[in-house]
Amino acid sequence: MKNSIIVAAALTAGVSASLYGESNLNHTCQLVPDYLSCSAQADPSKVDSCCVETFGGLFLQTQFWDTYTGLESQGQLLPADSWTIHGLWPDYCNGSYTQYCDLTRQYDPFPSPNTTNGLPNGTVVPPYNGTDITAFITPFGRYDLLAYMNKYWIGQNQKNWILWAHEFSKHATCFSTFDLPCYGPQYVKHYDLVDFLETTIKYFLRLPTYDWLADAGIEPSNSTTYTLKKMEKALKREYRATPYLGCSGPRYNATAAGAGSLDNGRTELSEVWYYFHAYGRPQDGNSVPVEQTGKSSCATTKGAIKYYERAANAVAGGSGSNATSSGHYRL
């Protein structure tokens, strides 16, 4: 885990600094075997860490199920018939993780946590007070990327770009393969940000949570309730590994239906995390599904979970109840 000494060194050395010891020469990854992350070969002493992820080798593509944005009046809406992007995270192979690894690339206005280790003795993560990071993307002409993110990568009670900035600053800076020296001497500022955003979307496109659940008869409803095991089974059938399902809302044993129960899981479906390992660079998309490493926060009692419909005014194109699929999942 990176400590305050390494972070301080990165701040002192500037943009050419390496968090993981890579050179800032060109890295020809075609010459490096596509070792699987978290394997014995993914060792930074044996392989180029720009070409094989050697630190955060257990990846999570995470998604939200929100029912509103809080900024509907400003035109910030949720997509019909789709979950939305949360992020792409690099856990250590044992399931632990680090965060805010390079404070020279800190664009998060509201760091959470506000220290690098989440503890009072950690290095303080200074809040970003600069411009909307959309301005970092437009010089590359990726207007299609921005349009896609504004449709499927949606913040709640905050502007979309703040969520993007948080995900990049907290998580992308902890990948060895997104480290600045990996882009070589012709690096263009903020290309690492664009690279991370595109990579996150690459995995999201492969993981149509809404469709997979709907194919099993599990659809948003304000009246029907669902069971955790059935939802996990539906997603495992398609993904070939069990993802983590996260729930919010009241605990089951605090509800009228669960009074007296020992089940203290929460009851409102809100998130899914897909775990995987990757061959070579995660940017290349050669991944292998992995079983969730933890335990769902959802209630386990039969019929205890609500998968709420979205608010009618929160969905692009109307309520979404009769909306057709965007088709973006078929790429």
Q: What is 229-275 written as a DSSP string? A: HHHHHHHHHHHSSPPEEEEEEEEGGGSSTTTT-S---EEEEEEEEEE
Active site residue 328: no
Long-range pairs of 232-235 with CB within 8 A, sequence gap ≥ 24: 232/296, 235/209, 235/272
Q: What is the pLDDT of residue 317?
A: 87
Residue 171 known to be catalytic: yes
Interval 37-72: pLDDT, tens: 999 999 999 999 999 999 999 999 999 999 999 999
Which of the residues 27, 171, 271, 277 is marked catalytic? Answer: 171
Helix (H) or strand (E) holding 90: strand 84-91
- Look up the pTM and report it: 0.91
Q: What is the pLDDT of residue 18?
A: 79
Spatial distance between the Cα atoms of 169 and 116, rounded to a whole number of angstroms: 11
Active-site residue flag, 167 = yes
In whole angstroms, give the CA distance from residue 319 to residue 306: 19
Q: What span, in angstroms and rounded, lies between the C-alpha atoms of 206 and 319?
A: 25
Find the catalytic residue in 167, 232, 271, 277: 167
At 113-134, the pLDDT tens digits run: 999 999 999 999 999 999 999 9
Flag whether pLDDT at 178 surpasses 70. Answer: yes
Across the range 256-281, mean pLDDT stands at 98
Token pair in block for residue 154: 């949606």
Q: Count of H helices and E strands in the chain?
A: 7, 7
- Assess contact for 257 and 299: CB atoms under 8 A: no
Q: What's residue 11's pLDDT?
A: 32
Domains and CATH numbers, the chain: 29-306 (3.90.730.10)
Residue 17 confidence (pLDDT): 61
Cis peptide before 113 (omega within 30 of 0): yes
- Asked whether the beta carbons of 95 and 293 are under 8 A apart, the reply is yes
Please determine, for residue 158, whether its predicted confidence score (pLDDT) is greater than 80: yes
Lowest average pLDDT, out of 24-28, 146-150, 226-230, 296-300, goes to: 24-28
CA distance 282 to 302: 37
Mean pLDDT of the chain: 91
Catalytic residue among 27, 86, 166, 277: 86
Give the C-alpha separation, 240 to 212, whole Å.
12
In this predicted model, what pLDDT tens digit does every residue of 201-252 receive, in sequence order? 999 999 999 999 999 999 999 999 999 999 999 999 999 999 999 999 999 9
Tell me what the mean pLDDT of segment 131-152 comes to: 97
Q: What pLDDT sits at residue 319?
A: 54
Please tell me the predicted confidence (pLDDT) of residue 318: 67
Each residue of 192-203: b (16+ CB within 10 Å) or e? bbbbbbebbbbb
Confidence of residue 329 (pLDDT cuts 50, 70, 90): very low
Contact 140, 187 (CB under 8 A): no
